[in-house]
Amino acid sequence: MVLLSHRLAPLLFVASCAANAVGIQGEIQNSAAWTATGATGKTLVLLTNLTQGKIIGLGTLEGREFHLTIPVTFKPDLEPLQVCPGVKSSPSEPKTYTAEQLMLFSPAQNAVALLTQADDPTDPARRAQWMYSDRAATVKGRCTGLNTYYDLTLHVGWNAVMTVSESSRFLVRNAAESLPYWVSTKALTPARTLFPNVFDGK
């Protein structure tokens, strides 16, 4: 398994290596909020695509820290990136897949809480996600008629991508610095009913 880390804050995020499983590990800054929901027993950490109802990576929470693995056997459903007019991909348009949401899951309580990687738990200006790319590519430019900019360098495999909201523009770029993880203060239950495709048979 490949664990590539960037240690600039009390968390780790990882990039990818196409031929190996990828590990993601981090520390939840407000982990007491999960305990306060009444969650007991083993807590799983899931990296998911809720739109498709898929679990991409799976791990466990130990105290404040977690580690999850995206198995090499996971085959993402790739689609052309199709960014807005004015933004160019070079040397060609990559096919990508986005891991939409991290969450904590208590099987015993049948409860989940959303987990975000951001600079603030309630009003973030910077957020991070993971994007899989089928090829190396640069994605740069400004969306025509909008204050949205892209400045991405993608590698084959999983990439840490950051969105930055500023007063005059919205920027999509590589995650140049690490951000803390925060768990939602409200648990969602019953998880298996709310997210049936994700938790089918689990």
- The full set of domain ranges for the chain reads 22-194
Q: What pLDDT does 6 receive?
A: 34
Count Cβ atoms below 10 Å from residue 29 Cβ, excluding itself.
16
Grouped pLDDT means (10 residues each) for the chain, 202 residues: 35 44 91 89 94 92 95 91 95 95 95 95 93 97 96 95 93 90 94 89 59
Q: In what order do the strands lie in the sheet with 44-49?
A: 22-27, 65-70, 54-62, 44-49, 101-106, 111-117, 181-183
Q: What pLDDT does 131 receive?
A: 95
Gap between the Cα atoms of 198 and 73, Å rounded: 18
Gap between the Cα atoms of 51 and 101, Å rounded: 10
Q: What pLDDT does 202 receive?
A: 60
